[in-house]
Amino acid sequence: MHAAIAVWFANITNMAKWWRWIHFFFPLAVWIMSQWHVPNTIYLIGFLLSLSLYWTTFRTQVPFFPSTATVRQQVLTLIPQYQPMRIIDIGSGLGDMSMYIAKLRPECSVEGIEIAPLPWLISIVRAKLNRSKVDFRIGDYRLLNFANYDLIFAYLSPAAMSDLWQKAQAQMRPGCLLVSYEFNIEGVEPTQIIQQTDREKMVYVWKIK
């Protein structure tokens, strides 16, 4: 009954479909684990893993969103070959976007910044194993100086886009590119929109004037 009520609330509030599955199975999973008498240590480990993954999501309102291979290919088309550029992926997660660009555009300087410790640590390890030259750092992208970059890629959340645009306008140099996957900036016309195959999510590009 708990699971059914949770799904009902998810439906009437128009939450994403995957949230409805979570709401349905979570109470059942709690009941099953209580029947199995799972040690409290397991719950502590799960909490610490979640904390290291989502960290300050309550403050930044930017959860963990991994990008897809298609998006990486489309962003790559915005970067001319043999033209050195300084590029940063803000909210770099596990580092897929940054390492992909660094591999195919070796003349570019590529950085990634991530606020959550676990994804950042994984990206560091992956970069070492793949001998990637990407400079991964842990921290808040809002403390960066956007004037240092020619292209900024963001896969954040709707809540962060207004502040992101204000920072880009204040700091980015004319001619530089701000690229966002899935989330548009309300009231700001993109310079270019790259359509995704699912016809729902798009890559938005703004050329700073």
pLDDT the model gives residue 56: 60
Query: Which tokens go with 204?
Result: 């938005």
How far apart (Å, rounded) are the C-alpha atoms in residues 40 and 61? Answer: 29
What separation in angstroms does the CA of 198 have from each of 14, 70, 111, 182?
A: 20, 11, 29, 11
- The parts of the chain modelled with pLDDT lower than 50 are 58
Where b means 16+ CB within 10 Å and e means fewer, 137-164 reads ebeebeebebeebbbbbbbbbeebbeeb
Q: In what order do the strands lie in the sheet with 177-181?
A: 135-138, 109-114, 86-90, 151-154, 177-181, 202-207, 192-195
Give the residue extent of every domain in the chain.
Answer: 2-59, 69-207
How far apart (Å, rounded) are the C-alpha atoms in residues 105 and 150? Answer: 14
Count CB-CB contacts under 10 A for residue 20. 16
User: Which amino acid does the sequence have at 63?
Assistant: P
Instruction: Give residue 26's Cα distance to chain centre.
Output: 25
pLDDT the model gives residue 133: 96
pLDDT the model gives residue 198: 58
For the chain, the C-alpha Rg in angstroms (whole number) is 19
Q: Could you please state the CATH topology (level 3) that the domain comprising 69-207 is classified under.
A: Rossmann fold (3.40.50)
pLDDT the model gives residue 84: 96
pLDDT the model gives residue 190: 97
Query: Which tokens go with 167?
Result: 């920072």
pLDDT the model gives residue 193: 95
